[in-house]
Amino acid sequence: MLSAVLKELLKRRVPQILGIYLGVSWAIVEAVGFLVDRYLLSSHLVDLCIVILASLIPSVLLLAYFHGRPGQDEWTLAEKIGIPTNLVACAALLVFLFSGKDLGAVTMTVTLEDEEGQTVERVIPKSEFRKKFALFYFDNVSGDSALDWLQYGIPVGVAADLYQDPFIDVKEVASFREQIREAGYDDGLGLPMALMRTITRDAHLDRFVSGTIAADDGELSVGIGAYSS
């Protein structure tokens, strides 16, 4: 029975057509991803493309099954009902998943006034597309108190570097000082992972960064980790 079904599908070239469709779909997704990166378009476009291509697979299977064989075939009732239904379902899914999402450019142009009172335009990232991080102090696990200052110094350097990227929004410990003190960590050091995650979530940020400072045979090593909230 199974063998007969497989033979019939091969005869109608269903696996071959589906394979070609999946290959072309992959190429389309890659091309859209390239355009998104190249022209700073919304990353939602890649997801949109994937959803459309995946949701149209039922129509591709119907067309392959009824028209894959050599020769001319009549349109069947299954196609006349199935394909429009699939298209309507695809449209409904797109509305459900992407309604309210920005599918345009990830930047916008704003008008500002400089120090001399001149009106200038600046291109800045839209808030939706900025990665938002909480940056906490690092922990000195070396046992050398002479390195304690690095617990504060290294995060300052990391923040200064991240500030150069307009697509990254960094919130330092000063933004969470009160919440950290209420948790009993007046110096902001040694925060447990659970507390850092809670603080990050409460601030509606995407991720948090923390790290450790160690020393081995006089060599300083710094470990940095980025964690999802």
pTM: 0.68
Q: Which domain holds residue 63?
A: 2-98
Residue 106 domain-assigned?
Answer: no
DSSP symbol at 174: G
Helix/strand/coil percent split, the chain, to 5? 50, 20, 25
Domains identified in the chain, total number: 2
Ordered per-residue pLDDT tens for the chain, 229 residues = 667 778 877 788 888 999 999 999 999 999 999 999 888 888 899 999 999 999 999 999 999 989 888 777 788 899 999 999 999 999 999 999 999 888 888 877 778 777 777 787 777 788 788 889 999 999 999 888 888 999 999 999 999 998 888 888 899 998 999 999 999 999 999 999 999 999 999 999 989 999 999 988 778 888 998 888 8
Residue 56 domain-assigned?
Answer: yes
Nearest to 87 by CA among 110, 115, 114, 57: 57
Residue 139 domain-assigned?
Answer: yes
From 58, 82, 98, give the residue that closes a domain. 98
Interhelix angle 77-98/57-67, nearest 10 degrees: 160
User: What's the CATH code of the domain at 169?
Assistant: 3.40.50.10610
From 77, 98, 119, give the residue that closes a domain. 98
Write the CB contacts of 199 (distance below 8 Å, at least 6 apart in sequence). Answer: 134, 176, 179, 180, 208
Question: Using CA atoms, how far apart are residues 52 and 94, in angstroms rounded to an integer?
Answer: 8
Write the CB contacts of 13 (distance below 8 Å, at least 6 apart in sequence). Answer: 64, 68, 69
Q: DSSP assignment of 115-155, as one string?
A: TTS-EEEEEEE-GGGSEEEEE---EE-SS-GGGTTHHHHHH
